[in-house]
Structure 1
Amino acid sequence: MQCSIRRCFIISVGIVFLWIFITLRAPGEIEDDKKVMVIKGQETSYSSRKELSSLEDWQKLTFEYTKKKQQRRKTWLTVGITSVQQSKGSNLLNTLISLFHASSKAEQKLFTVLVHLAGSDITWLRETSAHISSLFSQQILAGQLLLIHAPPDAYPTMDGIRDDPNRSVFYSKQNVDHAFLMSFATNLSDYFLLIGDNVFCAPNFVTHIRWKVTTMRSNPWVLLEFSNIGFLGKLFHSRDLSLLAHFLLLFHKEKPLERLIPHFRTLLVQEKTILCRPFLFYYRASYSTFDDKQNTQAVKEKDSYSPDNPPGAIFTDMKVLDAHFPWEAYSLNESFFWTHNVSAGNHLTVILNYPVNLRRVQVMTGSIMEGEYALEKGQVELGYDPMGMSQYCTSFIILDHLLEGQLDQEVLPKDMGSSVSCVRLVVKARQVGGLMIRHIFLWEEKDEIEENSPELKINQ
């Protein structure tokens, strides 16, 4: 707490930089006398700050800009996205397409999409903003889509990082990225929805969220969760965003974003998680780029969100129907395994071709929209010590129980994820009717990637 004054100063200067960068260094592209604000990085993007004589000049210009911003039409919801540069591409464009395509014209009038382009590479900023402006010029002109960027020197220093430096630096930057995003969104709307840059959205998600907020009027809440994965699908009151931004900046070095948010919720006296069904947002397992040479096909590559699913065989003692087979639950596409009338002890087991070090396991059951046919009671187990011709594992350790048919968990401690040969989904109670096992996703721990590219180590 001795550094709180220094941190507050950094916060203030950082937010000032955020406002002014957009005002001064985001040249407009004018077509048919209509101004479209597009962030285009230039080699001298940040040099103009040196021309200001003092902090008072910044504050004066910031006040003028915020005054204009506050005069814009206030919407009911702001959808906030922070996007960083990925070494193997980004799915931000697909995420934006999903947001607008999943919403009716009436619903689109209720929300604003705010994107923080949090990379520092000028070329990436220019290309990303150009792609967005070409695909979403109508939404930008209507004020439904806003792009912001905080320059690198607005970020606090990374002194005093503990534990794994690469991992902590990444989480620290992620927290600060989102602090800037939330600070900017404070006065844009009544509510703020946090999602990622690699997701797809359920149809009419705005209507679902609005209905839930209406039903919760008599019950005070701080955080509603429309996904049980990481920080995805978290809904806040906009009045809390300023406090949340300060909270993230104060503890940005301490924990990842998805672990700080529950602490913030608890501090504002909401002790229990409020999960809202159906879940409305899911991470994509693959992405397609918008390169002109690849417009006609989806290019599947692995990014920080995408599972590895090492090669293996799938076995089950559940009923197998003609339409959907067990191996479809382990594929990386949209297929799934369908069965019915399962009993306690039934299982679906992935037996890997070779032992792997796992860092994360995700199991999803039930339909995407309504959550129907989810496994009511089940658990996920990690298997070790394979033997015999079938390489069946001789020992298992419980990873965790499914919550409402879902599990998305990091494998901690790390030695628990070492040399895993089997991953098993076990039914814990008889369930009459259909069961949909949508997917089993596995992520490997790859030390060589983490050491060389810490930005790839994103936690969901």
Structure 2
Amino acid sequence: MGIPTVKREKQHYLINTLHSLLYELSEEQKKDCVIIVFVAEVNAEYVNSVAESIKTSFPREIQSGILEVISPPASYYPDLSNLKKTFGDSEDRVRWRTKQNLDYSFLMLYAQPKGTLCGISTNFQNYIRVFKAGVNIKLVIFKQQQKYLNMHLLVLLSGKLFKSEDLPLIVEFFLMFYKDKPIDWLIDHLLWVKVCNPEKDAIHCEKEKAELRIRAKPSLFQHMGIYSSLAGKIQNLKDKDFGKNVLHKAHNNPPAKVDTSLQIYQQYTLEKIYKGEDCFWASAPVAGDYIRFTFLNPLKIERYFFRSGNMEHPGDKLFNTTVEVLPADVSLSKFNYPATKDGYLKIGAFENGIAEGGVSQSIGKIQAIRLSVNSDSPVWAILSEVSMKVVSIHCKDFEQCIEIGTT
């Protein structure tokens, strides 16, 4: 996925865009994609500041290689000071749209081999559904098996899908006419050149282009923000055919009683996130606060996953918070984990808003899982995802499963 970004005079959308994309990706899906942020500026100080901001916000994604940040050499851009004005556009607008064509071309050429290297082989429709998020983005996803030259993920010009192998052809066309027209017009002209018969009418041409240009309905992306990167331009565009932002993710968790010392905000209760109905939202935690899940019957838990913050409030995370379990067997001497005074074992902690890991089966069945806050937080806290995977138990019949206490 390619995300071009430039310096803006007013509001910036990049970090929220990345939060929005990464929020919907599971750990397994992250292994199949690369997100490339193209900082389309030549000022080294600015480029480095953007890179540092991304590194600070997404250290795990940078480290794992899912997130890359690139910028062009100053020599890439030609002289843009004396361009011919066309279509009644001002000099500034002509320069802006011309540079935009060059920016997309650079990003596409850099990213073209990444599609092959990522080795994406999942079904296209299933794969693209993970990106149902509100973002301000020109999207390029590279997949060898997708048959369409160009797929619109958004009715507006904020999302496009191309075959990796077609990108050199597309860029070559852009670079031939980058001074003449905006990029969305050039894409349409390229499709005309590819499939339209000059001896046929316009209706036939549109039908042929529609075979290559498929629109996703409902749209998977939404244009966000009103301030364009072109100074003075207001972009009041909204795609009406777009779903609501997903602010929480549901999981089928085992039956449990939940409680917390945090002050809950309005209707965003802990019960709702545990059942997958809504997120949990509370005022700023202080040292000693906790969130607890007590199972109705002690269970063997295989893995846990907790996500704090969401797309609308990415900063409302849990900081300096540990994950603790209460064994059904209270004889703690056999466990190689730090223990609290009340018998919980510390098995993990939140990093950049996420806590995930396996539970050693040597612990046996556990009565409860607790999230313990170890220091005061300057921000409120959201839990947008809670997942507890129970160790699979194979029993001969339904009655035996009930007796064992599984669900």
Name the TM tier (shorter chain): 0.3 to 0.5
TM-score (norm 2): 0.46
TM-score (norm 1): 0.41
Q: Higher Cα Rg: structure 1 or 2?
A: 2
Say which structure is richer in strand: 1
